[in-house]
């Protein structure tokens, strides 16, 4: 049976995700959707020009929501990155735009009867993932945000560089919001089979954590967008879903103990979130997680325009 994915929003990130998936033959059918009709048509044509030199065939449809009815996965990459182009701005600068777009997209997905897995990249991702679940009515386990999968990669890059290790040789997580209230759970970070805290001072940990959290800002203010890091995170998550990998990933999902979407390790497969991992965090880390959850909840409530 043919595998199908929809990508909503063909900006820098959506296009990078599409290229990564198409180049490795992850799906057979692709549905590109964007309100900029000329841009999305041009992306489809660009891929058509690449087809003769790619090892896998890909069928691409443009701006056809009906084609998403039987999609395995739909990826929301919509956004307006220019809203973040201000030194005082953060990912919430995009919320006025995404909060307006989400209900319309959700209504289209409901109208065609989409029953697959919805993967959300759009910022601020934890809040937007919550909004998508609310407006689509899809089961919580089938609406997943990329969350701190990217921030965890940035932490692994920083720690790996510090110890001259490949980032894949660093274990651990950044947890909570994909934003300023996230934190590195140092109690979980290991290198060479040992707790990294045994090798780092408090000052060094603070510096590495700041480097990880600010990584996106460093890239953004130099090239005015980020793309490869988040695209690779998204592709890893999507492949874990369609291959039913049962892979452990720190992604944004509904975390029942704190009753909100936030990033925490979970087992991911074809049905979405299969199992939530139980970490042994320190008391300080648990409080940081709770504080991050409260921050996300406040923004969700405000976006939905209702009071607790």
- For the annotated binding site for NAD(+), the residues are 9-14, 34, 121-123
List all residues 6 or more positions away from 99 whose beta carbon is below 8 Å from its beta carbon: 127, 128, 131, 303
Q: Report the distance separating Cα 180 and Cα 209, nearest Å.
A: 11
Q: Which two tokens stand for residue 9?
A: 């929003």
Instruction: Report the distance separating Cα 181 and Cα 33, nearest Å.
Output: 32
Q: Which two tokens stand for residue 93?
A: 């600068």
Contact 40, 7 (CB under 8 A): no
**Rounded Cα distance, 149 and 145, in Å:** 9
The CA-based angle 210-146-124, given to 5 degrees, is 70
Q: How far apart are CA 98 and CA 217, in angstroms?
A: 20
Q: Answer for the pair 9, 17: CB distance below 8 angstroms, yes or no.
A: no
Beta strands in the chain (DSSP E): 4-8, 29-33, 59-62, 73-76, 117-120, 143-145, 170-171, 174-175, 183-184, 190-191, 194-195, 247-255, 260-269, 272-276
Q: How many CB atoms lie within 10 A of CB 256?
A: 9
Q: CA torsion sign, 238 to 241 to 242 to 243?
A: positive
Instruction: Answer yes or no: 178 catalytic.
Output: yes
- 256: which DSSP letter? G
Residues assigned a catalytic role: 178
């Amino acid at each position: 049976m043919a595998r199908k994915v929809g990508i909503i929003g063909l900006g820098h990130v959506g296009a990078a995700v599409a290229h990564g998936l198409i180049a490795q033959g992850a799906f057979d059918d692709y549905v590109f959707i964007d309100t900029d009709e000329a841009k999305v048509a041009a992306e489809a044509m660009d891929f058509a020009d690449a087809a003769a030199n790619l090892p896998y065939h890909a069928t691409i449809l443009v701006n056809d929501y009906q084609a998403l009815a039987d999609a395995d996965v739909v990826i929301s990459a919509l956004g307006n990155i220019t809203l973040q182009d201000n030194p005082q701005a953060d990912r919430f600068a995009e919320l006025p735009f995404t909060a307006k777009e989400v209900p319309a997209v959700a209504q289209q997905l409901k109208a065609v009867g989409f029953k697959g897995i919805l993967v959300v990249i759009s910022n601020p991702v934890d809040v937007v993932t919550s909004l998508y679940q609310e407006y689509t009515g899809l089961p919580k386990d089938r609406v997943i945000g990329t969350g701190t999968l990217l921030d965890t990669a940035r932490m692994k890059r920083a720690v790996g560089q510090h110890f001259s290790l490949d980032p894949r040789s660093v274990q651990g997580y950044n947890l909570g919001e994909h934003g300023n209230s996230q934190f590195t759970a140092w109690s979980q970070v290991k290198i060479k089979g040992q707790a990294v805290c045994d090798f780092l001072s408090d000052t060094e940990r603070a510096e590495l954590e700041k480097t990880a959290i600010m990584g996106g800002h460093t890239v953004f203010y130099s090239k005015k967008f980020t793309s490869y890091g988040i695209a690779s995170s998204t592709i890893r998550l999507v492949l874990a879903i369609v291959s039913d990998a049962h892979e452990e990933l720190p992604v944004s999902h509904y975390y029942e103990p704190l009753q909100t979407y936030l990033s925490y390790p979970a087992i991911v497969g074809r049905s979405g979130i299969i199992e939530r991992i139980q970490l042994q965090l320190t008391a300080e880390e648990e409080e940081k997680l709770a504080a991050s959850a409260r921050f996300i909840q406040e923004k969700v409530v405000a976006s939905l325009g209702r009071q607790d």
